[in-house]
Amino acid sequence: MRQKALLPLVVLTIFALLVTACGGAATPTEEVEEVEEPMPAPSGSGEIFNRVIERGKVVCGGRTDLLGFGYLDEAGRNIGFDIDLCRAVAAAVLGDAEAIEVFAITAADRGPVLQTAEVDMLSRNVTWTSSRDAQWGNFTVIMFYDGQGYMVRRESGIETQEDMDGASVCVTSGTTTEKNLADDFRNHGLEFEAVIFEDTASVYNAYEEGRCDVTTSDKSQLAAVREGFENPDDHAILGITISKEPLTPAVPHGDDQWFDIVKIVMYALINAEEMGITMANIDEMKESGDVGVRRLLGEEGDWGYTDLGLDSEALYRAIKAVGNYGEIYDRYMGPLGIAFTLPRDLNNLWSNRGLIYAPPVK
Amino acid sequence: MSISTEAARPPEPPGPLTWVRRNLFNSLFNSLLTILMVFVIFYTVRGVIYWIVNVADWRPVVNFPFLYLVGQYPRDQLWRIGLSTSLIAILFGLSWGTWGGLIRTFAVSLGAFFAVVALLPVQSNELTIPVRGALLANVLLIFLGFRLGRLQAVKGSFTAIAWLLAIEVITLILLPGLSLRETLTLLIGSALVFIIVYIIYQAIRVGGINSTLRILILIAVILLAAEIALASFPNLANTPLLQKVATTSWGGLLVTFFLAAGGIVLSFPIGVVLALGRRSSLPVVKVFCTTFIEVVRGVPLVTILFMFSVILQLFMPPEARIDRLLRALMGMTFFSAAYTAENVRGGLQAVSQGQVEAAKSVGLNSVQIMSLIVLPQALRAVIPAIVGQFIALFKDTTLVIIVGINELLGIGKSIINSDPEFIQLQAEVFIFIAMVFWISSYILSYASRQLETTLGVGER
């Protein structure tokens, strides 16, 4: 009886040894293969950059439930302004705008995924603040200037801050939105009654049903929501902005090379709009006489591209894949945008009295 | 003679009119109440039907069948999900034929589910004729499996092994861009686990090495030989067999069922072990199990999910990252295991000491006493509690939304936010999701009642 029970144990041990031996034998071959692959010239630490190249995918922290910025199309594909920024980076670094993997990141997750470098890039409608910059990661380039505003019914006659004294305001609970609202009314010495909901969709439903006079959120959000109302023209977004929300893609700390790559791609999108390069005309523009255009598209000289481990066509690919800054904006939020319509305002190029500005390619 | 027959016959069941008079109109007050309630019910039902048919806008529900079913799973890889569901369908049929009873509920529900999705009377560019056909074919597969399971040659152990194999194969189909070598390693690993489990099983049943074990070992050896042989063809060995589908793209019902089924299947044995450990006389084991149970039970599930999803990552080296979905599953499993452990402990306490003594006196060893005498009785006593726990677990899967996993509710929220018009239509989406959960939970609880009847729980 005992001997019989021992036999399988012996067999198992032999197996275990064999498997370990096999695994041990397998490892060196892998290492050899890695060495054989040509390494791109690194600058900075290159940890994330190498990881991206090896994986063949850029992992982006994004959203799947924010209209216009990060949401899903009918086939379940990630789309939106933020997602296109991620695609641009993938197109530049890997040559394929589809080589992205989007993690849906919740508000509580944003810091930790950067701190642990679980994502290569956080492109999730995140506001750049001093404390986040210090604690979470490196914030690259402000790609969208948002700000908290108010939406009211036109018939209410509310136009200024003072008109809102004593109004009831629908707002989501426990967010900076709620805090900004309280601060703003206190600064102006006004009274208000907060009608608080957990969920953003509930806030707007309550507002439309008339349970409050005013609702507050980031202006891009308000514009999106207004579009869905039965009579969008009955509602007005006031000209008041009570907070600065510079929405900025961020990368984890500790890899300057990757930080610079994301920045150069973002700036390329902005520069492309300034130079009039679009998805459609980019191939003709390559032949352009404008030396700035030719530099950006990698036709003339190397303006830091190889130092970052990119080839000279990287920015050309990014622009060709997603379009210039204006094209991305218009695709989702322009007059014919598939999500909603929001005037560009601060998000115009600096040359059109906006704040969008990029350093030159030189 | 005739008088006694008269007396033995039960009284005639009252006709419907008599019943109505006796129960609904037996006093003035009750009559008024009945009339009032008829009106209330009539208007409520009419209102609900009117809303469903005329007011509600079901576009966010019917336009996205695949999003609700599989989330963002790449549409060109959907055949992998199809193949997996077909495997599951045929296995449910097989189990229904072999074991009958309890499984029938699940098999029939599954068939009904496929049929409903296949025959949905909506226009959709995703639910094409081939897709609908494939879904209907699954219904046939269930039936085919059932007929197969009824054959004499097909035994319970065969079906059990088929399930284990299928789980393995489904994992290999759904997940991964694994190379041939990795696939083989995985297979060998699971063959080993299988062998170990089998040996333990044999030890309990008092037997030696039988033919099944020999076959298993033979398979493992062949796989091992194949893997060693592959080492000389690195190109072949390292070619990924299937494109990798990251679990971040999983969503909808796929994730809900994955988390629920995974959580239930994993937490049950862990729970039983914890319950036994808590009653153990070894202080280390006992203290460990008690601490684990009390700590996990003392913390809300949301906190545990956050711990696993966010905090755990801060302490892990980057190479040792665990997949997000797996982290959520771990959290759910641990949480559920602690509760299952307490339920099982209640059952263990219900088994009288006399049973154990009797078993000892006929010469069974302690493993045999536990597995053959105590546990079967203990588990039977706590079926309702455990099923309640599993239903709770199933509904709790919606909580993973807070760690950024788009299960059914998360997909619903994403769909609501995918079009400005849909933001006003959240009621429709939430009602639909609530119905899905209600139906699934009801099937679970119905199956548990059947199991109780089969085992005669509550009758003695």
Closest-CA distance, B177 to chain A, in angstroms, reads 12
The three-state secondary structure class of B138 is helix
The mean pLDDT value for A54-62 works out to: 93
* Strand A137-139 with A167-172, pairing: unpaired
Q: Do domains A47-145+246-352 and A148-242 have the same CATH topology?
A: yes
Whole-number pLDDT of residue B179:
73
B231–A66 CB contact, under 8 Å:
no
Choose the closest CB to A116 out of B73, B246, B314. B314
- Could you tell me which residues are beta bridge partners of residue A153? A235
Residues of chain B found within 8 Å of residue A228, distances taken between Cβ atoms = 419-424
Whole-number pLDDT of residue B301:
94
Interface test with B, best of A10, A74, A199 (most B CBs within 10 A): A74
Residues of chain A found within 8 Å of residue B246, distances taken between Cβ atoms = 101
Our CA dihedral for A322, A327, A333, A335, rounded to 10 degrees, sits at: -140
Residues of chain B found within 8 Å of residue A108, distances taken between Cβ atoms = 306, 310, 402
Q: Is CATH 1.10.3720.10 the classification given to domain B251-460? A: yes
What crossing angle do the helices spanning A256-275 and A325-333 adopt, rounded to 10°? 80
**In CATH, what number does A148-242 get?**
3.40.190.10
Residue in A with minimal Cα distance to B64? A74
- The Cα B399–Cα B403 span in angstroms is 8
- Answer yes or no: pTM beyond 0.90: no
Residue partners of B74: CB distance under 8 A and separation at least 6: B243, B245, B249
pLDDT in tens, A232-246: 899 999 988 999 999
Closest-CA distance, B334 to chain A, in angstroms, reads 21
Our CA dihedral for B278, B284, B289, B295, rounded to 10 degrees, sits at: 130
Instruction: Please tell me which residue, A201 or B36, carries the higher pLDDT value.
Output: B36
Closest-CA distance, A286 to chain B, in angstroms, reads 35
pLDDT grade, residue A42 (50/70/90)?
A: very low
- The Cα B327–Cα B71 span in angstroms is 19
Mean pLDDT of chain A: 86
Residue partners of A73: CB distance under 8 A and separation at least 6: A79, B418
CA of residue A151 relative to chain centroid, distance: 25
One-letter amino acid at B251 equals G
A104–B406 CB contact, under 8 Å:
yes
User: Please, which residues 408-427 of chain B have a Cβ atom closer than 8 Å to chain A?
Assistant: 410, 413-424, 426
Per domain, the residue ranges of chain A are 1-37, 47-145+246-352, 148-242
Whole-number pLDDT of residue B459:
57
ipTM exceeds 0.85, yes or no: no
Angle at A272 between CA A271 and CA A276, to 5 degrees: 120
Whole-number pLDDT of residue B457:
62
User: Please, which residues 167-186 of chain B have a Cβ atom closer than 8 Å to chain A?
Assistant: 181, 185
pLDDT in tens, A256-289: 999 999 999 999 999 999 999 999 999 999 988 8
Residues of chain B found within 8 Å of residue A77, distances taken between Cβ atoms = 72
Whether A252 has a pLDDT exceeding 80, the answer reads yes
Whether A20 has a pLDDT exceeding 70, the answer reads no
User: Please, which residues 4-43 of chain B have a Cβ atom closer than 8 Å to chain A?
Assistant: none
Whole-number pLDDT of residue A11:
43
Closest-CA distance, B186 to chain A, in angstroms, reads 11
Given CB atoms, is B406 within the 8 Å cutoff of chain A?
yes
Instruction: Please tell me which residue, B191 or A206, carries the higher pLDDT value.
Output: A206
A2-11, A129-138, A183-192, B432-441: range with lowest mean pLDDT: A2-11
Whole-number pLDDT of residue A120:
95
pLDDT tens for chain B, 460 residues long, are 455 555 567 677 778 888 888 888 888 898 999 999 999 999 999 999 999 999 999 999 988 999 999 999 988 888 889 999 999 999 999 888 888 777 888 899 999 999 998 888 877 777 888 889 989 999 999 999 898 888 877 677 778 778 878 888 888 888 766 777 777 777 788 778 777 877 777 666 655 556 666 777 777 788 788 777 777 777 666 677 777 888 888 999 999 999 999 999 999 999 999 999 999 889 999 999 999 999 999 999 999 998 888 888 778 777 777 888 999 999 999 999 999 999 999 999 999 999 999 999 999 888 889 888 999 999 988 988 998 899 999 999 999 998 889 999 999 999 998 988 888 888 999 999 999 999 999 998 898 888 888 777 655 5
Boundaries of CATH 1.10.3720.10 in chain B? 251-460
- The Cα B98–Cα B160 span in angstroms is 10
Q: Which fold has domain A47-145+246-352?
A: D-Maltodextrin-Binding Protein; domain 2 (3.40.190)
Choose the closest CB to A112 out of B220, B246, B310. B310
Residues of chain A found within 8 Å of residue B401, distances taken between Cβ atoms = 106
Choose the closest CB to B231 out of A26, A33, A340. A26
